[in-house]
């Protein structure tokens, strides 16, 4: 009779005396001649296996002596308790070991380029190239166990709330989410292309027109953007859409989904989430994704700066600029080196510089004091409510530059003074986004989200008179300064949709050509509807406490969009191009 296979990581002292069968990978080998120790790893964990001549017999000892890291083995043996001095508290099975009576190699392994252990010196490139070995590392495995649990909870929650999971096409037409499309040439229709979906946006709206009422999908999306460290060209969204609801209904669903998802990692989502409008977020924190684990609100220094002859202030206020600041409580002790670093941070956001001032031991000081004059300087400190021991950071520039610089400095200052309580998590909604943004170079309006977002009804007339002033029924959900998702109540009337297209400079013909099918659908009885998309990869990354999206995506791409394991993208055979009616391109000289 064969013994059933035992998961290695589940054995405890309670199993002492049991005969067990293990199958897994060899980790480390310690060879003491008469005694050989192997660790054996499988999905459940690791256990130590002992081979000794007296108890195991000659052949198993001989074979164990030949075992190498990452060989796949089958081992039979008996669970024995370790002596008190041998107990290993670092692993759950540390109280016992297996005395082996048999060892078979199910597969031999070449020397791996690195050992799949949590602490590794392997470069990320090597880890991505040998991804199958990297994924053997216990923390990587744990990340995917967590990801599976999160996806399962999301599905269960949405299913219980009456949402239907529906798949939408991968080979489709362009969806305007603001990125470039990945195009797929059609062989059957030479010269024509599919686009991979940037999101299922148009399909989910059409499912609402079809009367599905509540849709979701754990959907793959593709965006050909210049990649940044925290982006992937293909990523996964929890895509949601619902009919007949308002913002309140969407918020309730999303809060339930996120509470369930983060619950998988023991992170509590305090409900209801805090809410603030876009205007409030920009005013208080300089960003539409504020980290609310700490206060540190920005302050308006323009009225006091107006009275000073300080040239940078005057310059900003003479144009369309402003002067705003940040009080860093207890920040007077921040080093000069740090302040220089923060000045560089402010410059990296386009600011001409950073003005700092501190009050310590009753003395106020600042490199700008002299240029500002004592009275104006004191007025500035008073406006910033700077008390003894505090630091004031001020930036004078165009409003978007001031906001971006101070938002970054707010985070840096919070870290510096230890104001972030990392045991807490702060979820919030940011609402009432502007409907449009404006391209600084061309002056053209573009949709802040996508062109199907509904304006607030009271702002409808601004579409023609003041497009920049129109607010959208759009919202973002933010966690600890990271955007988890964004969505909106949609336009469900063809006439409003046309007005929005017009404001965006999309002609009727262009609108018809790009999204005619949606416009047409809106004419056949479209219910009011809205939804959201939540970034599953980012949720998993935060829940796992990982520092990179690549640690929660099984086969991710590098920042230049390459898959180092498969070697994609790669050239294709000339015949394939001929079939697709595509002329070969010479790669640009590098």
Is there a contact between 203 and 239 (Cβ–Cβ < 8 Å)?
no
Could you give the 3-state DSSP secondary structure of residue 388? coil
For 111-170, give the secondary structure using H, E and C: CCCCCCCCCCCCCHHHHHHCHHHHCCCHHHHHHHHHHHHHHHHHHHHHHHCCCEECCCCC
232 contributes a contact to ligand ASP by CB under 6 A: no
486 contributes a contact to ligand ASP by CB under 6 A: yes
Is there a contact between 567 and 278 (Cβ–Cβ < 8 Å)?
no
* Binding pattern for the stretch 124-153 against ligand ASP, x by CB under 6 A and - elsewhere: ------------------------------
Count residues binding ligand ASP (CB under 6 A). Answer: 11
Cis preceding-peptide flag for 569 (omega within 30 of 0): yes
Out of 122, 282, 532, 544, the residue judged to bind ligand ASP by CB under 6 A: 532
217 contributes a contact to ligand ASP by CB under 6 A: no
431 contributes a contact to ligand ASP by CB under 6 A: no
Nearer of residues 402 and 533 to ligand ASP, judged by Cβ: 533
CA gap 96, 48 in Å, rounded: 8
- Interface region with ligand ASP, contact rule CB under 6 A, candidates 153-161, 484-492, 493-501, 544-552: 484-492
535 contributes a contact to ligand ASP by CB under 6 A: no
- Interface region with ligand ASP, contact rule CB under 6 A, candidates 75-83, 280-288, 411-419, 528-536: 528-536
- Residue 511 C-beta: closest distance to ligand ASP, Å: 18
How are beta strands 445-447 and 436-438 bridged, if at all? antiparallel
Nearer of residues 281 and 448 to ligand ASP, judged by Cβ: 448
- Interface region with ligand ASP, contact rule CB under 6 A, candidates 2-10, 354-362, 436-444, 526-534: 526-534
- Residue 299 C-beta: closest distance to ligand ASP, Å: 33
235 pairs with which residues across the strands? 221
- Interface region with ligand ASP, contact rule CB under 6 A, candidates 12-20, 105-113, 531-539, 561-569: 531-539
236 contributes a contact to ligand ASP by CB under 6 A: no
How are beta strands 164-165 and 436-438 bridged, if at all? unpaired
Out of 376, 533, 541, 543, the residue judged to bind ligand ASP by CB under 6 A: 533
Is there a contact between 24 and 40 (Cβ–Cβ < 8 Å)?
yes
243 contributes a contact to ligand ASP by CB under 6 A: no
* Binding pattern for the stretch 438-457 against ligand ASP, x by CB under 6 A and - elsewhere: -----------xx-------
CA gap 132, 119 in Å, rounded: 17
Could you tell me how far CA 437 lies from the centroid of its own chain?
23
> Tokens in use for 41?
């790893």
The enclosing H or E element of 499 equals helix 494-503
Sheet strands (E) in 166-308: 183-185, 193-195, 214-222, 234-243, 274-277, 298-300
Out of 487, 492, 500, 543, the residue judged to bind ligand ASP by CB under 6 A: 487
531 contributes a contact to ligand ASP by CB under 6 A: yes
Q: Half-sphere exposure (CA, 13 Å, Cβ side) for 179?
A: 19
- Residue 177 C-beta: closest distance to ligand ASP, Å: 5
- Interface region with ligand ASP, contact rule CB under 6 A, candidates 110-118, 272-280, 413-421, 483-491: 483-491
CB environment 372-382: b (16+ within 10 A), e (fewer) = beeebbbbbbe
- Interface region with ligand ASP, contact rule CB under 6 A, candidates 64-72, 516-524, 525-533, 537-545: 525-533
Subset of residues 156 to 185 that bind ligand ASP, contact rule: CB under 6 A: 177
- Interface region with ligand ASP, contact rule CB under 6 A, candidates 376-384, 481-489, 494-502, 515-523: 481-489
CB environment 34-62: b (16+ within 10 A), e (fewer) = eebbbbbbbebbbbbbbbbeeebeeebbe
- Interface region with ligand ASP, contact rule CB under 6 A, candidates 227-235, 251-259, 289-297, 486-494: 486-494
- Residue 530 C-beta: closest distance to ligand ASP, Å: 8
- Residue 533 C-beta: closest distance to ligand ASP, Å: 4
Nearer of residues 178 and 272 to ligand ASP, judged by Cβ: 178
- R_g of the chain computed on alpha carbons: 30
Out of 6, 39, 143, 199, the residue judged to bind ligand ASP by CB under 6 A: 199
Which residues lie closer than 8 Å to 109 by C-beta, 6 or more apart? 25, 26, 68, 69, 70, 71, 72
Nearer of residues 177 and 247 to ligand ASP, judged by Cβ: 177
> Tokens in use for 354?
């950073």
- Interface region with ligand ASP, contact rule CB under 6 A, candidates 42-50, 133-141, 277-285, 482-490: 482-490
Nearer of residues 137 and 514 to ligand ASP, judged by Cβ: 514
CA gap 379, 97 in Å, rounded: 72
Is there a contact between 417 and 362 (Cβ–Cβ < 8 Å)?
no
- Interface region with ligand ASP, contact rule CB under 6 A, candidates 96-104, 115-123, 331-339, 480-488: 480-488
Nearer of residues 13 and 519 to ligand ASP, judged by Cβ: 519
DSSP structure class, residue 203 = H
Alpha-carbon distances of 12 from 6, 75, 93, 99, 102, rounded to whole Å: 12, 17, 6, 14, 21
How are beta strands 427-431 and 274-277 bridged, if at all? parallel
Out of 201, 364, 366, 454, the residue judged to bind ligand ASP by CB under 6 A: 201
Binding site for ligand ASP (CB under 6 A): 177, 199, 201, 449-450, 486-488, 531-533
């Amino acid at each position: 009779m064969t013994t059933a296979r035992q998961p290695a990581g589940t054995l405890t002292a309670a199993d002492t005396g049991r005969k067990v069968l293990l199958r897994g990978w060899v980790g480390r080998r310690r060879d003491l001649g008469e005694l050989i120790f192997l660790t054996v790893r499988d999905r459940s964990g690791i256990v130590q296996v002992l081979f000794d001549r007296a108890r195991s017999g000659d052949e198993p000892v001989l074979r164990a002596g030949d075992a190498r890291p990452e060989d796949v083995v089958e081992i039979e043996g008996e669970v024995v308790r370790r002596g008190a001095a041998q107990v290993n508290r670092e692993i759950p099975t540390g109280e016992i070991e297996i005395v082996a009576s048999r060892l078979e190699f199910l597969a031999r392994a070449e020397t791996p380029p690195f050992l799949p252990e949590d602490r590794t010196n392997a470069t990320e490139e090597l880890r991505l190239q040998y991804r199958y070995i990297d994924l053997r590392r216990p923390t990587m495995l744990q990340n995917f166990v967590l990801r599976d649990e999160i996806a399962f909870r999301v599905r269960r929650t949405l299913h219980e709330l009456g949402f239907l999971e529906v798949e939408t096409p991968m080979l489709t037409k362009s969806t305007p989410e603001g990125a470039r499309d990945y195009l797929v040439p059609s062989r059957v229709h030479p010269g024509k292309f599919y686009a991979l979906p940037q999101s299922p946006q148009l399909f989910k709206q059409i499912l609402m027109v079809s009367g599905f009422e509540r849709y979701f999908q754990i959907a793959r999306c593709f965006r050909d953007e210049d990649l940044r460290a925290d982006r992937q060209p293909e990523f996964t969204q929890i895509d949601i859409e619902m009919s007949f609801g308002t913002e309140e209904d969407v918020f309730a669903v999303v809060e339930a989904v996120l509470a369930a998802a983060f619950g998988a990692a023991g992170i509590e989502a305090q409900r209801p989430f805090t809410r603030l409008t876009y205007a409030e977020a920009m005013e208080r924190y300089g960003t539409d994704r504020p980290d609310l684990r700490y206060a540190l609100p920005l302050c308006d220094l323009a009225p006091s700066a107006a009275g000073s002859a300080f040239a940078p202030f005057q310059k900003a206020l003479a144009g369309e600029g402003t002067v705003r600041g940040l009080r860093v409580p207890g920040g007077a002790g921040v080093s000069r080196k740090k302040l220089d670093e923060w000045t560089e941070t402010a410059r990296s956001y386009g600011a001409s510089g950073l003005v700092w001032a501190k009050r310590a031991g009753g003395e106020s000081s600042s490199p700008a004091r002299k240029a500002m004059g004592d009275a104006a300087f004191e007025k500035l400190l008073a406006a910033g409510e700077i008390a003894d021991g505090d630091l004031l950071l001020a930036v004078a520039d165009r409003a978007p530059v001031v906001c971006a610089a101070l938002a970054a400095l707010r985070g840096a200052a919070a870290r510096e003074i230890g104001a972030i309580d990392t045991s807490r998590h702060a979820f919030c909604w940011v609402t009432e986004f502007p409907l449009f943004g404006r391209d600084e170079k061309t002056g053209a309006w573009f949709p802040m989200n996508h062109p199907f977002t509904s304006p607030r009804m009271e702002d409808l007339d601004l579409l023609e008179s003041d497009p920049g002033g129109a607010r959208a029924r759009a919202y973002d959900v933010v966690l600890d300064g990271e955007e988890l998702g964004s969505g909106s109540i949609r336009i469900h009337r063809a006439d409003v949709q046309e007005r929005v297209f017009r404001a965006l400079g999309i002609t009727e013909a262009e609108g018809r050509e790009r999204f005619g099918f949606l416009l047409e659908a809106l004419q056949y009885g479209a219910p009011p509807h809205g939804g959201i998309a939540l970034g599953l990869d980012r949720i998993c990354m935060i829940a796992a406490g990982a520092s990179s999206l690549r640690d929660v995506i099984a086969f991710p791409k590098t920042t230049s969009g390459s898959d180092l394991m498969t070697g994609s993208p790669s050239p294709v055979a000339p015949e394939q191009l001929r079939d697709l009616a595509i002329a070969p391109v010479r790669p640009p000289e590098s």
